[in-house]
Amino acid sequence: MSSASDSSQVLIGPSVLSADFLELGEQLAEIDRAGADYVHFDVMDGRFVPNISIGLPVLEATRRGTTLPIDVHLMVVEPERWIDEFAGAGADIMTFHAEGTPHGHRLAEAIWSLGKKPGVAINPATPLAMVEELIPAVHQVLVMTVNPGFGGQTFIESMVAKIARLRALIDETGSDCLIQVDGGINRSTIARAVSAGARSVVAGSSILNDDDSIAGNVAALRAALHGEDADRLGAS
Ligand code: DX5
Ligand code: ZN
């Protein structure tokens, strides 16, 4: 298990899927001011997942609205068809699903050759064996902690053990590949995901909501990593 001291290295990426799109520019500026590490951008095609979200024109606008790295999560079938266009529209990281392509290694190489960082994602039901051989070839492995397709779902607790098993696999290879988690991350669940080995955390509904400011919510997530009560820190 990792120590709490590692938590300062944890990257936090708000998911714009939960944004108010009428206020996207202002919300991106707030995300930047809140000290987030990157912006997570969910692309859904209505085929790989039972929902349609946002695509190239919104990514181009997002690129103009932030200087943070943009982490594009491609929940699409045949992701290889789209990487040139998403790279051109402003992606810095492109994460495809292992279930969406039979040629993950080729795709990772193609993403590196565009000057971008590849990630590979797996759904909750998909075993780690599907990504094990890709660990040396990618920037990050995304362990989905909900079934992809919607924001605001509940964290699947059994994924904590999966994250820990992936942590051991990565440490065995000596790779600096990151473990990213996405889905149901909030101030109650973030510490378990990070203790198990995650180093990059996506959070949508727990950061972009009406309960608190974006900065207050990011601070609360960071405080939760240290086991502190965010209210005591005066986050608002
Ligand atoms: C779900 C998406 C997530 C989503 C997370 O399929 O991949 O990135 O925005 O939202 P929350 O944090 O609300 O679960
Ligand atoms: Zn996502």
Instruction: Look up 211 and say whether it is catalytic.
Output: no
Output the six-digit token pair for 108.
């990772």
CA atoms within 13 A on the CB side of 37: 15
The token pair at 105 is 């290694």
Mean per-residue pLDDT, 134-147: 98
Q: How confident is the model at residue 232 (pLDDT cuts 50, 70, 90)?
A: low
Residue 235 has pLDDT above 50, yes or no: no
Q: Compute the distance from residue 11 Cα to the ligand 2 centre, in Å.
A: 15
Closest approach atom of ligand 1 to CA 148: 6
113: three-class secondary structure by DSSP:
helix
Pocket lined around ligand 1, Cβ cut-off 6 Å: 15, 17-18, 40, 42, 73, 146, 148-153, 182-185, 202-206
pLDDT-derived band at 6, boundaries 50, 70, 90? low
Element (H, E) at 143: strand 140-144
Q: Is 212 a catalytic residue?
A: no
Atom of ligand 1 nearest to the CA of 155: 14
The predicted structure's pLDDT at residue 8: 61
In a mutational test of the pocket of ligand 1, which residue from 42, 155, 209 has the highest number of ligand atoms less than 8 Å from its CB?
A: 42
pLDDT per position as a tens digit, 147-174: 999 999 999 999 999 999 999 999 999 9
pLDDT at 231: 53
Ligand 2 centroid distance, CA of 136 (Å): 22
Q: What is the pLDDT of residue 227?
A: 83
CA of 105 to the centre of ligand 1 (A): 25
Q: Check: CB of residue 107 under 8 Å from CB of residue 146.
A: no
CA of 66 to the centre of ligand 1 (A): 20
pLDDT, tens digit, 9 for 90 and up, residues 59-92: 999 999 999 999 999 999 999 999 999 999 999 9
